Structure 1
Amino acid sequence: MVSSFVVSYNNQKAIETSASSNLSVTKAEFISVSGTVISGNGTPLAQASILSTDNNQVVNTNPKGQFIITAPVNGHLKVTCNGYNTMSVTINNSSSLLIMLQPES
C-alpha cells in the first residue's frame, strides 16, 4: 500500500498527498480561442506564432492576422512575431482575442 506520493509535470510539483489526505484530480477544461494579431497601427500580422504554454500547441496567424487555438479556459498564450516584442496573454475564459504587438525598439 502506498502511503504518500507526488505527481509532477514538467519537473514542477502538481499534487502531493499522504495517507491522511484525500486526493481529487480535476480535468482541465479547454476552449477554442480565435483571435487576430495586429501591429500598433492596426495592420494584421501574418505568420505570428501563438503558443499555448499550458498544452504546448502552436499555431500561426493567416495573412489576415487571424488564428484559432485550443487551450485551457484560464490558460496562457505566448505571441511572437519577427520584429515585434513578445506578448503573454491570459485567456480568462475568452473565446475571442485582439492582440496588439508593439515593434521592437
Structure 2
Amino acid sequence: MYYKVLKDNKVIDVLDHLSFVKYQEKHGIMVSCTQEEAQAILSSDGEYIWHVHGLYNLPVDGYDTVEIIPIDQYEYKQLSMFNLTTPEAIIDAYTKSLLDGGIL
C-alpha cells in the first residue's frame, strides 16, 4: 500500500510502506515497533519522525503531527517523479514565472 503524508494540507512525503516507531524513555530515543505499539512513523528517507493522529501520544515534544492518506500506485509514482508536486502545480508555477518575468 502507498501513502501520502500531509502537514497543514501540503504533501510533504510519499511512502511505499509505514515504518512505526515508539519513544524509549530509558535511552531517550525512538525505536522500531509494531503498529499496535506505535507513537509515530518514519519519513521515506528515515530523516524525520512524525506523530500521526490515531497513534499513541508521544511523551516528548519536538515532533510534528501529520495525516497519512492511502493512495494508489499511480499517484505514488506521480508524486515521487515530480518531487511531491502535481503536474498541474508545476505548470502553474512555470506560467507564473513567465508572467512575473514579463514574457507573457
Query: TM-score per shorter chain, which class?
Result: under 0.3
Higher helix share: 2
Q: Please identify the structure whose Cα radius of gyration is greater.
A: 1
Question: Which structure carries more strand by proportion?
Answer: 1
TM-score by length of 1: 0.26
